Structure 1
Amino acid sequence: MAKINVLIFPAGEINAIELHDALSSCVNIQVFGASSVERHGKYVFQNYISNVPMINSPVFIDKFNELLITNKIDVVFPTHDSVADFFAANQDKIRAKIVVADSRTAAICRDKEKTYELFKNYDFCPQVFQEIKKYPLFIKPKQGQGAVGASLINNVNELPEDLSDYVICEYLPGIEYTVDCLTDLKGKLLFILPRSRERLLAGVTVCGQNEKLTEEIEKIAKIINNNLTFKGLWWFQIKKDINNKWKLLEISTRCAGTMCLSRAKGVNLPLLSVYIFMGYDNITILNNNYNIRMDRTLISRYEIDYKYKIVYIDFDDTITWNNGINLKVIWFLYQCQNLGIKVKLITKHIDDIYLTLEKLSISTNLFAEIIKLNPDDNKSNYIKPDKAIFIDNSYKERINVFQNLGIPVFDVDNIDVLMDWRM
């Protein structure tokens, strides 16, 4: 099966690392990273391209297309708002599919003044002031991201001298959510997941959890989706006003750095976006029925409210990877041994599984049982669901187990959810 080649550009920021983590362990995806300015990307991407011209360079499009053709890139993820805006305006000149909305949508999302103008007749749009009559209020750059330049203003002495590049809004004192979304090429909204923003670092959520999708939030998501033209992943932020009503902060068409929380629920928005742009039909959402909380410094850590005592795990392209061993999965298997959690290998491996394990120096003692199946067998028929989880790189196998047994299922990209970092 030919792999889909995906390029992340720029490749050094937090959301670029999330895209890498979401896609790099997928068996049918080959991930590339590219940057104009050296940051963290070269430490993460096995296939990394440096010294790409800046998007404002007159040779950028020609050089970028050379890069795409040389590496046979199918899909590109822009990771910065300005880059997404540029690609949206120049999609017809780029020699690959760009995971971005159309130029009108990108321009509106990039400018908060345009965003609020579009939604001014809806009750979720915050009050925007042309002149200041009372305090406190909130100012934010018309074009900006990560809360850079945004400020609470309590009196006239705190105002900047020039307000021409700012939007002046009502002060919203309540809690703040980000809402992850996914839209197909026909404009159908496939997925909505609100998540809290409890602690921030440089504008990025470093502590939060999934939250209930209320009718109010769902209505806001649908109105935004119906008034703009999204393709693939996107997100918006909301905050509660003094009357406990949700008000819109901003909308973005690029990957968010904390979409890892949606992925930890089983919904890999970057991967689903690749499939949408590649024209795959029948995109379905597998949203695991557990709640999850995320806390991180420079890496993500998870805690799920599901206590499992037994792990059923696949072999090919799950424990193995690129004719070798998936080191993160092996780490997890030894973690299970340390914690007294039973592991059962359930596989359709075509060769002698015991001989293959021996060749890879994997001890059979890691497994409480080895279940060898025929190619046409359903794995769900051989799994006892009590306090169990299932790990398999095959979506077909996961959906079958999930629908028939109702236990949490995990792709290889999702193994981080199960890691216990305590030592």
Structure 2
Amino acid sequence: MTTNIYFNRWFSVSYHYMNMIRDNPDGNEFKFFGTHPDTNHLSLQACDYSEQEPVLHGTEYVDYAVDFCRRHEIDIFIPRLKMLEIAKEAHRFDAIGTKVMVCRDIELLESMLEKDQFYETLQGTGVVPIPEYYVVETAKQFKEAYETLVQSGHRVCFKPTNSEGGMGFRIIDNELDDLANLYDWVSLSVSFEQVYSTLSAVESFSKLMVMELLEEDEFSIDCLSDAEGRLIVAVPRRKSTGRIYVLDDVPELTEIARNVAEKCRIPYVFNIQVKYNKGVPKLLEINPRMSGGLFITCLCGVNMPYLAVKTIMGQPFERPVPQWGVKASYLELPIVMKG
């Protein structure tokens, strides 16, 4: 029996996740469906069937996804785009027999998608240390937040409250040589005066989080939970130099994953990003989905995409044991495009 799985407008790395599910050790058969506005998008190259996704919003997008699942008899829907809208109307997918791999706690999901709200949720709980931060919407507020953080002895960075990945992230560096910078690689660093001048040109702007810069090791903790959000396994992935990653057993990070799971009950696969500062691992963000680097994490011998599929299908499996001490990287893979 073949199981139909649908990925909507995912990152290119979903190419790996589909193949990891497809090449499973149990010999289970899957057929993959994908949609994306760009019909040449690499995520679609792993699909057995794909189509161009229209640009829709709100309920209209959910209508499209429900119709797609109905037309193609989708068994499992793994959304990335519009997770919140889909979660709010998950009952519509239940009604047609499609299981949706999404967090159904709407309040929790909303807070995870707005980083300042999620920080507020975890502040003072002891689940994970939170960096010092301020949310600003005016140039005056930005200046006050920056000066407060500097007075506390921090270097300063900022990012939008609702960005994904590294979008909008900048580091304030007042030692920049503007001319030398023009001849160097594109940098994330900007001076305070550059930022303040730009922000002062408008009365207000979309929320920014101004926060202490975390300057030591960065980890992504990829986590697998059951349908009720009970943690099954957590694997820390340390970003080293360049494209090098190290998968090691770090008990305090596993403890953070366990604390987050107990507090938030995020089902299936999720990702916790932390960065150390002065020896303390502090939260960057939590993504309630497969992370962009999960295909690296799975080199420890834990096939999280496939185990998540088994979890949502209610199929039992032995608790996986990661193989620690893995140093890994990746290369571009040339492929001949289909179609």
TM over 0.5: yes
Q: What is the CA-CA distance between 1:164 and the residue it aligns to?
A: 4.5
Q: Which runs of 5+ in 1 are unaligned?
A: 201-205, 301-423
> 1:171-190 counterparts in 2 under 5 A?
171-190=213-232
1:232 paired with 2:232, answer no
Q: Residues 104 and 254 (structure 1 numbering): CA distance in 2 closer, same or farther, change over 3 Å?
A: same
Q: What is the CA-CA distance between 1:157 and the residue it aligns to?
A: 0.8
Q: Which runs of 5+ in 2 are unaligned?
A: 136-143, 175-191, 335-339
Show the counterpart of 1:366: none
C-alpha contact 2:225 2:232 (8 A) present in aligned 1:
yes
1:284 paired with 2:318, answer yes
CA deviation map 1:35-72 (0-9, x unaligned) = 23334247623423212233406543333222212221
C-alpha contact 1:152 1:171 (8 A) present in aligned 2:
yes
Q: Residues 147 and 52 (structure 1 numbering): CA distance in 2 closer, same or farther, change over 3 Å?
A: same
Show the counterpart of 1:246: 281
Q: Residues 3 and 199 (structure 1 numbering): CA distance in 2 closer, same or farther, change over 3 Å?
A: farther
C-alpha contact 2:16 2:295 (8 A) present in aligned 1:
yes
Show the counterpart of 2:100: 98
For residue 222 of structure 2, give the secondary structure of its aligned residue in structure 1: strand
Show the counterpart of 2:79: 78
Root-mean-square deviation (CA), in Å? 2.3
For residue 21 of structure 1, give the secondary structure of its aligned residue in structure 2: helix
Q: Residues 192 and 46 (structure 1 numbering): CA distance in 2 closer, same or farther, change over 3 Å?
A: closer
Q: What is the CA-CA distance between 1:288 and the residue it aligns to?
A: 4.9
C-alpha contact 1:55 1:86 (8 A) present in aligned 2:
no
Q: Residues 36 and 90 (structure 1 numbering): CA distance in 2 closer, same or farther, change over 3 Å?
A: farther
Following superposition, which runs of at least 4 residues in structure 1 exceed 4 angstroms of deviation? none
C-alpha contact 2:235 2:254 (8 A) present in aligned 1:
no
C-alpha contact 2:12 2:43 (8 A) present in aligned 1:
no
1:222 paired with 2:254, answer no
**2:9, 2:50 → 1: CA distance?**
10
Q: Residues 228 and 292 (structure 1 numbering): CA distance in 2 closer, same or farther, change over 3 Å?
A: same
CA deviation map 1:327-377 (0-9, x unaligned) = xxxxxxxxxxxxxxxxxxxxxxxxxxxxxxxxxxxxxxxxxxxxxxxxxxx
Show the counterpart of 1:213: 250
**2:160, 2:31 → 1: CA distance?**
37
C-alpha contact 2:160 2:206 (8 A) present in aligned 1:
no
Match of 1:140 among 134, 159, 167: 159
Q: Residues 259 and 50 (structure 1 numbering): CA distance in 2 closer, same or farther, change over 3 Å?
A: same
**2:245, 2:211 → 1: CA distance?**
25
C-alpha contact 2:132 2:211 (8 A) present in aligned 1:
yes
C-alpha contact 1:194 1:210 (8 A) present in aligned 2:
yes
Q: Residues 252 and 120 (structure 1 numbering): CA distance in 2 closer, same or farther, change over 3 Å?
A: same
Higher relative contact order (CA 8 A, sep 6+): 2
Show the counterpart of 2:111: 108
- Count of matched residue positions in the alignment of Structure 1 and Structure 2: 288
